[in-house]
A and B are shown apart, each in its own frame.
Chain A
Amino acid sequence: MAIRLSVTARIALLSIALALVSNLALVGFVWKTTSADAIDAIRRETTEQSEALRAVWRSGGLPAIRQAIGSAVVPGDVSLVLAVVDPKGRAVVGIAPERLAVPLRVTQFRIARLGADELWSARETGYALHPLGTYWLLTGRNLDLIAAEERAIERALAVAVFLSLALGVLGGLVLTRYVGRRLDGIAKAIEAAGEGDLSRRVDMIAGGGDAFDRLAARLNVMLGKLEGVMAELRIVTDSLAHDLRSPLARLRTKTEQAVLIADPDAREAALGGLLVETDLVMRMLTMVIEISRSGSVSRDRFIEVSPANLLEEIGELYAPVAEDAGLVFTIAIDDRPPPMKLHRELISQAITNLIDNALRHGAGGGEVTLRIVHQTDGVAIQVEDRGPGIAAADRAQALKRFGRLDSARSTPGAGLGMALIEAVARLHDGRFELADNAPGLIARIVLPL
């Protein structure tokens, strides 16, 4: 059966393995160099001693070397091997096995077991053999100390392995816990989003800024945007459904009444009313589509348009309407800006919406001005009225899709006009703003040059 490991468990195992390998490599290196250095030292000592004693032999013969060996042997130094051996391998003087188990021939430096008896069979000795006439000079040192060092290092090695395993497990657990917790937070936020809860965010470590934090920050920004879009979508859907109910209810009632009217003229009048209601619904739906589509309008729809000419055309279309409503309608173009690349239809629609709003809500003020202001950073197309205006605090609400102020609830409209203007301004990289005309409202589309 294949065992499936979680990512955190794999990370923990990996950290254990890494700790183990690095500790083993380190201890192994220490073991190797310690051992090599010690043997080198013994080789040097053995060679030097051998040469010195051979010189003593040459100058003083056997008595001199006997004395030299006697003074060289330090009591308590159990590792020193120093002896004169007869041709049969028996030690004549000094410290050596009873009988040598190695062949008697010139040996520079070798490591071997020197004796076969109990005391010497277990230990290895680094030694050198040189002839002294018919005798042989044996110099060397038992490797017990090195072996002891090696055992100590090996014990350290075992401890190291144990410690690495323990530390690895501990580190793994800590890592697992840390990584797991961070990943868990991210996974939970994503799961919640998948289930429709977009309000959940991933916690970040204060002052952290590690990869998890960066991931969390980006995820949070994405979730925030998504939440905003979803909220707007919900508002649009709710508002659309809500605002459609009234005209549809009126439509239904009027249809019912029309069906029951016997007089042909009266019925025709009633049916005419139905068409007006239907057109209102259609206009709302068309505008919602225009607003949502305005974000994806391609640039090749933009044509060179003179903003001043456009304003004059629209002004000419609306002047009679304003005059019929008893308003003083003025078109003010002080400085003609150069032609600009615009989506003529959408800009025209936005401007007519502005004028429509001014006629509907600002007519009481008696005047409406359509003005173009050529600024350094762009062109402002604005409609000014002298009506009640919109309080600064209410302006954001007025710009929202379906955002209608209480004061506007009594007049027809679905609160889409301003949202369309805003969308059109954004499409042109411009902005839509409302300002105080003291008294009245200035609604302004600013297009960058």
Chain B
Amino acid sequence: MSRKILIVEDDASTSAYLAKGLAEAGHAIEACADGRDGLFLASEGIFDLIIADRMLPGLDGLSMVSAIRAAGIATPVLILSALAAVDDRVDGLKAGADDYLCKPFSFAELSARIEALVRRSDRAATEPQKTKLSVGDLEIDLLARAVSRAGRSIPLGAREFNLLEFLARHAGQVVTRTMMLEKIWNYHFDPGSNVVDVHIGRLRRKLEDGFPTPILHTVRGAGYRLAVEG
């Protein structure tokens, strides 16, 4: 689905790379290189998402995001920055950004985060809160916290359920390891070992053992996707 995305980035090559990649993914792109211009454009309220650098001329990224929020604009903002320390990310999120991605970034991760952000804001705007999610023959009852596939109940631990719910809310999209660490475990650092893969592996065995079709797919170099394919 095509989205209108504003890129506020003063590094011309990064801006061009982002614009090209996102345009190829079917989005409509507008770009500017100055924090004040970014604030002006954002205040038009026509964008589905704003991608902002932190270090900007005119008005720095954090101040720009704060100003956007102070003006009552709810457009999702993703900060894209080379300032990658834990405290930098916390600063970004506290300033009012919805997500924070560190440079250098993988395009798959950026796309996954963009989809997650705009989908969430769409849902917040239009859909009533769902109590059930389904992906193919997989049913997730959010109230009873129960999961079944093809009518057969699958018992899950609390953390496994949260993981599956997160994947199901972004069904069909790539969800990266970092996103899962951030949303499920609230860790804003890379633990280095394959912790997420191990948890996904366990969840996958519960969801797929005894069923003919796979439902939790590995996207090489990017992350995982919950979907019925083929």
Contacts and interface: CB of A to CB of B under 8 A. Distances in A.
Interface in B77-135: 84-87, 90, 102, 104, 106
Contacts of B221: 271-272, 275
Interface stretch (B146-154, B167-175, B195-203): B195-203
Interface string A376-413: 00000000000000000000000000000000000000
B230 interface: no
Interface of A is mostly: helix
A316 B159 contact: yes
A172 B189 CA distance: 67
A348 B90 CA distance: 15
Contacts of B189: 286, 290, 345, 348-349, 352
Contact of B90 (A283, A301, A316, A321): A301
Given A271-B221, A286-B190, A324-B198, A345 B86 contact: yes
B199 A356 contact: no
B17 interface: no
Interface in B173-201: 185, 187-195, 198-199, 201
A284 to B, nearest CB: 10
B198 A321 contact: yes
Contact of A352 (B104, B106, B191): B191
Nearest to B106: A275
Nearest to A285: B84
Given A272-B221, A275-B221, A297 B87 contact: yes
A318 B102 CA distance: 25
A346 B86 contact: yes
Contacts of B185: 313, 317
B86 A321 contact: no
B191 A290 contact: no
Contact of A272 (B84, B86, B220): B220
Interface string A300-326: 010000000000010011101100100
Contacts of A318: 195
B54 to A, nearest CB: 15
Given A275-B221, A317-B185, 4 more contacts: A283-B190, A289-B84, A346-B86, A349-B189
Task: For the complex of A and B, list the 6 residue pairs with the smallest distance between their C-beta atoms, beginning with the closest.
Answer: A345-B86, A352-B191, A275-B221, A321-B198, A272-B221, A349-B189
